[in-house]
A and B are shown apart, each in its own frame.
Chain A
Amino acid sequence: MSARVAVLVFPGTNSEDETVRALRAVGLDAALVHWSEPDALARFDAYVLPGGFAYEDRIRAGAVAAHDALMQPVIAAAQAGTFVLGICNGAQMLAEAGLVPGTGPVGRPTAAFAPNASGRFQAVHVHVRLAVPPERLPILAGLARGAVIPAWAAHGDGRLVAPPEELARIERDGHLAFVYADAAGEPVPAPNGAALDAAALCNPAGTVLAIMPHPERDAWTFQHLGADRADTHGDQARTLAPSGGIAFFAAFARALGVAVPA
């Protein structure tokens, strides 16, 4: 039986369906769990916090959801080593909950995904490059060293901020999981002004990952921005073929024991 993955839905979440679709495409048994069903979380093997605007991002992005009843079992499970993946708004929740970078007590954030340097919501196609050795991230298995994943950044609050000593710790201790890059993996400045050009952070064990761009929005070729998409015009089979972002979910599935080809 495949690993069961809960995709959490808060009021204002808006990326749950494409996240479930990407997880199922790589063989995972993914299901939605709504904010009123915290008791349902016990039967899952891993958790994904998808993107959107939970509770309208009141107070701060992800702050209210981080303290929601639905998050309490997730936080407890994360502390016990269960894989937890947060994408965009989910990443903001994990930072607000103190699970990433996870260098302080739970519930006391040491970093944040703050408003973009531009002061605006930005939607832009990006690539992110694995910035730690693959073995540093047990939550993603089978990724090549320096793997590059295409994704869509779509957020108003994606700029990593932290005090200088915490940024130094993030870099030194391998919490900087992914950085913004070009398609060849060469470094590029973060579109949102993030410190360290960070696109994703992980916890000390590499079992909790918070990524700002959306790989599930570049999971099929019709979602991709590039020449390979243009070449598929009118070819339904190729348009609906997996795109680069699915590699991210394949790695997550392998980490959960699903035999996904590399």
Chain B
Amino acid sequence: MSAVRTFTVHLTIPDNEAFTALETLARLGVPVDRVIRADVWQFELDGDAGDLAATIGSFETIFNPNKHRLQERSQERPEAGEVWIAVRDETPATRVAGRPIPGVRAIRRRTSWRLLDASGDDVPPDVRTRAVETFLCNPAFQVAIS
């Protein structure tokens, strides 16, 4: 088992933030037809975390079954076509909503963005780069991971 486990949390209801991003990218002239956003949670383990997915599922701050879909990733990096926005020089959290997670020593949160064209395919890399540089990432304190 990896020392880091990565989960994504997608909204199953309309994602207003993704819609706003789409609208803003359009205003900036970045040709994107659909935006998919997700929260990425990475848990660095230091012991027996038990059934971590079930534990996370009980943290409503992370996951609400009425509006979220929780998925564990096999990789600690973004998938092809995906970009993660993270805080530069981030100090990992040790708690979520004031509560520690058993067996977890560090928690990192990123935002996943996936930008699609009208066919549902990932936009070309140069379009994704424009979206990141003009809007999705403030390089003063964030980094884009792809």
Binding site for B on A (CB under 8 A): 55-56, 58-60, 63-64, 67-69, 95-96, 107-112, 114, 119, 161-163, 166
- Binding stretch for chain A, among B21-29, B45-53, B68-76, B117-125: B21-29
B27 proximity list for chain A (CB < 8 A): 67-69
Residue of A nearest to B89 (CB): A161
B residues 92-146 touching A (CB-CB < 8 Å):
93, 133-136, 138-141
- Given that A59-B135, A67-B27, A67-B28 are known contacts, is A109 also in contact with B20, CB under 8 Å in the complex? no
Q: Are B17 and A163 in touch, CB under 8 angstroms?
A: no
Residue of B nearest to A115 (CB): B87
Q: Are B141 and A112 in touch, CB under 8 angstroms?
A: yes
Q: Are A58 and B21 in touch, CB under 8 angstroms?
A: yes
The 10 A-B residue pairs whose C-beta atoms are closest, nearest first, are A161-B141, A112-B140, A58-B17, A114-B141, A58-B20, A111-B140, A112-B138, A162-B140, A112-B141, A109-B138
A64 proximity list for chain B (CB < 8 A): 20, 24
Residue of B nearest to A111 (CB): B140
Q: Are B140 and A166 in touch, CB under 8 angstroms?
A: yes
Tell me the smallest distance from the CB of B23 to a CB of chain A, in Å. 8
Q: Are B135 and A63 in touch, CB under 8 angstroms?
A: yes
Contact count A vs B, C-beta below 8 Å: 49
Q: Is B16 an interface residue (CB 8 A)?
A: yes
Give the CA-CA distance A162 to B141 in the complex, in Å: 6
Q: Are B138 and A67 in touch, CB under 8 angstroms?
A: no
A162 proximity list for chain B (CB < 8 A): 140-141
A96 proximity list for chain B (CB < 8 A): 138
Residue of B nearest to A61 (CB): B138
Binding site for A on B (CB under 8 A): 16-17, 20-21, 24, 27-28, 87, 93, 133-136, 138-141
Partner of A163, one of B87, B134, B136, B140: B140
Q: Are B20 and A59 in touch, CB under 8 angstroms?
A: yes
Q: Are A161 and B136 in touch, CB under 8 angstroms?
A: no
- Given that A58-B16, A59-B135 are known contacts, is A161 also in contact with B140, CB under 8 Å in the complex? yes
Give the CA-CA distance A68 to B24 in the complex, in Å: 8
Residue of A nearest to B91 (CB): A117
Give the CA-CA distance A55 to B24 in the complex, in Å: 11
Partner of B140, one of A58, A68, A69, A109: A109
Tell me the smallest distance from the CB of A166 to a CB of chain B, in Å. 7
A58 proximity list for chain B (CB < 8 A): 16-17, 20-21
> Could you name 15 residue pairs across A and B whose Cβ atoms are closer than 8 Å?
A58-B20, A59-B21, A59-B135, A63-B138, A64-B20, A64-B24, A67-B24, A67-B27, A67-B135, A68-B27, A112-B138, A112-B140, A161-B141, A162-B141, A163-B140
Tell me the smallest distance from the CB of B38 to a CB of chain A, in Å. 14
Give the CA-CA distance A166 to B17 in the complex, in Å: 30
B140 proximity list for chain A (CB < 8 A): 95, 109-112, 114, 161-163, 166
Q: Are A59 and B136 in touch, CB under 8 angstroms?
A: yes
Give the CA-CA distance A55 to B138 in the complex, in Å: 17
Tell me the smallest distance from the CB of B50 to a CB of chain A, in Å. 26
Residue of B nearest to A119 (CB): B93
Give the CA-CA distance A10 to B135 in the complex, in Å: 18
Tell me the smallest distance from the CB of B135 to a CB of chain A, in Å. 7
Give the CA-CA distance A163 to B89 in the complex, in Å: 11
Beyond A64-B20, A163-B140, 14 additional pairs, beta carbon < 8 A? A58-B16, A58-B20, A59-B20, A59-B21, A60-B138, A63-B24, A63-B138, A68-B27, A95-B140, A108-B133, A111-B140, A112-B138, A119-B93, A161-B141
Residue of A nearest to B140 (CB): A112
Give the CA-CA distance A67 to B20 in the complex, in Å: 11
Give the CA-CA distance A59 to B135 in the complex, in Å: 9
A119 proximity list for chain B (CB < 8 A): 93
